[in-house]
Amino acid sequence: MFSFAPLRAYRIARALYQQGRLEDAEEVYQRILTVMPDDALAHHDIGVVQFERGQVYQGVERVKLALTRDSTRVAFFATMAGMLEDPAYQAYLRSPFYGPFNAQQMRQRIFRGMIELADPRSIFETGTFRGTTTEFIARATTAHVFTCEIDVNYFAFATQRLRELANVTVVHLDSRSFLKRYVPLFARGDAACLFYLDAHWDKEDLPLIEELGIVFAQVPRAVVMIDDFEVWDDPGYSFDDYGPGRRLGLPYLAPLARFAPRYFFPANSSGETGVRRGSVVIATDPALAARIARIPELRPAPMPPAL
């Protein structure tokens, strides 16, 4: 049973919602939750308000929470169905990190430059997620794009999304198994191949250094871009740090020294858009590295002082 105060608060919140005062309505619902933190209806109503305020992901997550608190309310399911079908949520699903390459336009130009200058036979991506960057790459090239995803639901989503692009193959495999199996099949001979390594996500299992070992041992003319990488002389770029010895930066790549890699960093972050995640581009073949060096938005990566 509700005590008097929450009932009155509900009336006020509903009235505010009907007047279109969504921010004020959300504040009143939040106050209801401070008194009754498990109240499914308050979570549901906050979800509706957030969704209407354009926070579509938060809105859906909130209604999910309401359903975990009370899964007998038909109206909650109806709200959820409406949200999932809404074009705003469908658009969110297609661009979860705001756009391809985290909506970073400079990074998009760098990858286009890599395609133009390396003229790859095949392109490999690890970590498909919802296929946003895969779609961008596939539309920018006639080369075949192979991409792998470990999560079965993201794999299913991306497969459906990319089904009309004839130059894309989505594979449901761990990135290391994927590279071991597909690279020898589709990166044969001395044709150049591009790699976009973006399967770092799981705090317990960081596949990156193994992925790089597999690539460089098999493809002498590989050009690799790694996302979420520390650009140590430019703090405007953010990066992944999974704890001691697992910070994505140049020292982490020390085991690659035997391949004599050339490293390139993106130009200054002040010229970048979107999420501004750092990156590095690596080539081991000297002639290919010289071509990649012509991309205006790239510069040779300086070694950090400790190395």
Ligand X SMILES: C[S@@+](CC[C@H](N)C(=O)[O-])C[C@H]1O[C@@H](n2cnc3c(N)ncnc32)[C@H](O)[C@@H]1O
Question: Which residues of the shown chain bind ligand X in the complex (CB under 6 A)?
Answer: 97, 126-127, 129, 132-133, 148-151, 154, 174-175, 198-199, 201-202, 207
Burial of 163 (0-12, 13-18, 19+ CB in 10 A): exposed
CA distance 145 to 124: 6
> 190 is written with which tokens?
């001395």
Q: Select the residue whose beta carbon is closest to ligand X and give its number.
A: 127
Q: Shortest distance, CB of residue 133 to ligand X, whole angstroms?
A: 3
Q: Shortest distance, CB of residue 247 to ligand X, whole angstroms?
A: 17
Q: Shortest distance, CB of residue 123 to ligand X, whole angstroms?
A: 12
The residue (of 199 and 253) whose beta carbon lies closer to ligand X is 199
Amino acid 214 reads I
The residue (of 155 and 264) whose beta carbon lies closer to ligand X is 155
> 270 is written with which tokens?
């002040």
The residue (of 21 and 176) whose beta carbon lies closer to ligand X is 176
The residue (of 79 and 133) whose beta carbon lies closer to ligand X is 133
The residue (of 100 and 261) whose beta carbon lies closer to ligand X is 100
Q: Shortest distance, CB of residue 197 to ligand X, whole angstroms?
A: 9
Q: Shortest distance, CB of residue 104 to ligand X, whole angstroms?
A: 10
The residue (of 89 and 201) whose beta carbon lies closer to ligand X is 201
Instruction: Name the residue among 125, 108, 109 with its Cα closest to residue 294.
Output: 109
Q: Shortest distance, CB of residue 51 to ligand X, whole angstroms?
A: 23
Q: Shortest distance, CB of residue 245 to ligand X, whole angstroms?
A: 18
User: Angle, nearest 10°, between helix axes 74-85 and 40-52?
Assistant: 20
The residue (of 76 and 111) whose beta carbon lies closer to ligand X is 111
